[in-house]
Chain A
Amino acid sequence: MKDYTDKLLDALDHSEQLTDAELDALLQNEEARDLYGIVNKTADALTETPEPDVEKEWEHFCALYGKRQPIIIRLISGRHAAAAAIAGVVSLVAVATTIGIRLAQNDRNTDSDSNITKEAVTINASLTIVAPDTVRIADERGDYTTVFKDERLDRILPVIGRYYGKEVRIKNPETGNLRLFFKWDEQLTIEEIVDQLNSFDQISIKYDDKTLNVE
């Protein structure tokens, strides 16, 4: 005769063989529920987390949530063209290696240096790897495309929504959990982006002036 430990151990490995009613009945039993509590806590306690690369995670965070305006490097006056060129190179390296710097630059957008001229240039790295699974690429015109690799829809849409000034509402969390490989060309209109996303079978997005609504 199987006791509740046996029944719980059976169910843990073959829960698909139990109907919802059978599973509920098992978990209504006090002994089985207490035992499951021990299993759950043991699983929590034994779950190991690999040492994260915090710098890379910060870069990924910045890629997803950082402001997306192109970096504008204000150059000092034309007679210091050589110095300006060096500044440009340094900035280019900064863009390619640390997005944190880009965020910091955007954050300090109150450029009050009266010595700078009105001349401004936009420096774009030709390929900026911003995270192991998300890449932001600029073409020769400096137009950006962000490639989301195996990223969840509920993480992609807020990035896009923020860029186009729209809130995102996702009715079904399961849809939000969908993982996509998606190329977002920032030159396209929101209408075009929504059309592209709606070409995925499982995705249906409607939008109005303020909101992207995911069914």
Chain B
Amino acid sequence: MTTVKDIEQLFKSNYRTLLILANRLVHDEDEARDIVHDVFAKLLTEDQREVTPAYLANGVRYACLNLIRNRSVRERFKNLYALDTSELSDDEWPDETTINMLNEIVDGRLTEQCRRVVKLRFGSRLSYRETAEELGISETAVYKHLRHALNVIRQTLNEK
């Protein structure tokens, strides 16, 4: 049986990593935090003899998967969630290699302004109007930067 002391140690050494994983998938810090807490709460009631970081990560992944599955296609689309959850359920996503590659493309192959646009629209989920206001550019410019960025990302991923 996992004791409270064990849980405290597991919590403190894994919380950050699990929060990042959950937030990556559900794009909401509050939801991510609740999901991670719920995974640890289950340890209080389950008779788990051995709890590993991988076990905790799987718990977080499946909780995120359930949250996404319970959303309509429109909600998933609006929140930029995965439409096809098979990669998530098969543990294929998120994989660090692709995540690092995407960050390298955005940081290394886009102009500074284009990078800002992509980070605000896709990373922070601001609307085109909010992104335009934040950067002091037009919505049309935001649109063009995103179109360019998507082409670059698609091409680069296809080359690899």
Task: Give the contact stretch, choosing among B18-26, B46-54, B55-63.
Answer: B18-26
Interface string of B24-66 (1 = CB under 8 A from A): 1101010011100100110010000000000000000000000
> A39 within 8 Å of B by Cβ?
yes
Contact A15–B77 (Cβ < 8 Å) = yes
**Majority secondary structure of chain A interface residues (helix, strand, loop or mixed):** helix
Contact A23–B106 (Cβ < 8 Å) = no
Once the chains are docked, how many angstroms separate the CA of A33 from the CA of B11?
38
Shortest C-beta distance, B100 to chain A (Å), equals 8
> A9 within 8 Å of B by Cβ?
yes
Interface size band for B: 35 or more
Q: Which residues of B contact A20 (CB under 8 A)?
A: 73-74
Interface size band for A: 35 or more
Known: A23-B77, A61-B37. A42 touches B4 (CB 8 A): no
Q: Which residues of B contact A48 (CB under 8 A)?
A: 123
Contact B24–A58 (Cβ < 8 Å) = no
The 17 sampled A-B contact pairs (Cβ below 8 Å) are: A9-B150, A12-B80, A23-B73, A24-B73, A36-B77, A36-B83, A42-B118, A43-B125, A50-B29, A54-B11, A54-B16, A55-B12, A57-B37, A61-B11, A61-B40, A107-B4, A152-B34
